[in-house]
Amino acid sequence: MKRISTLVTFAIPGLYMLVFADRAFAYMDPGSGSMMLQLLLGGIAGVGVIIKLYWKSFLNLFRSRRNQSESLSPKNEIHE
Q: Which residues bind other proteins (CB under 8 A)?
A: 12-15, 17-22, 25-28, 30-43, 45-46, 49, 52-54, 57
How far apart CA 51 and CA 8 sit, in angstroms, is 9
CB of 65 to other proteins, least distance (A): 15
How far apart CA 43 and CA 54 sit, in angstroms, is 17
CB of 77 to other proteins, least distance (A): 29
Nearer to other proteins, 53 or 66 (CB): 53
**Cβ–Cβ under 8 Å, residues 14 and 28:** no
